[in-house]
Amino acid sequence: MDSAEFHEAVYDIVRQIPRGKVTTYGHVAKLVGMPTYSRHVGQALKFLSPNADPPVPWQRVVSSAGKISSRGPGTDGAQRQR
């Protein structure tokens, strides 16, 4: 599976997370079939286009500590946490 295929697989899984529910980066990695790739799941979501169609609810994926990770400088990850 190349990088683009991995990213699309992550986005497809994240789109299936129901409103009001969350899952972890590790769980998404397992569902993609690459259980040791939790950091790669985070990277895929970090590089997600804000104009993704259909939208990818990235804020429904949390760390193993149950927190939303920031998508980097200038993003609203911390705002969504509140």
pLDDT at res. 74: 56
pLDDT of 21-78, one tens digit each?
999 999 999 999 999 999 999 999 999 988 999 999 999 999 988 888 776 655 555 4
Q: What is the CATH number of domain 3-66?
A: 1.10.10.10
**Residue ranges of the domains in the chain?**
3-66
Sign of CA dihedral 32, 37, 49, 65: positive
Cα separation, 53 vs 11, in Å, equals 10
Closest CA to 44 of 66, 28, 67, 23: 28
Maximal C-alpha separation, the chain? 36
Predicted TM-score (pTM) above 0.85 = no
| pLDDT level of residue 82 (50, 70, 90 thresholds) | very low
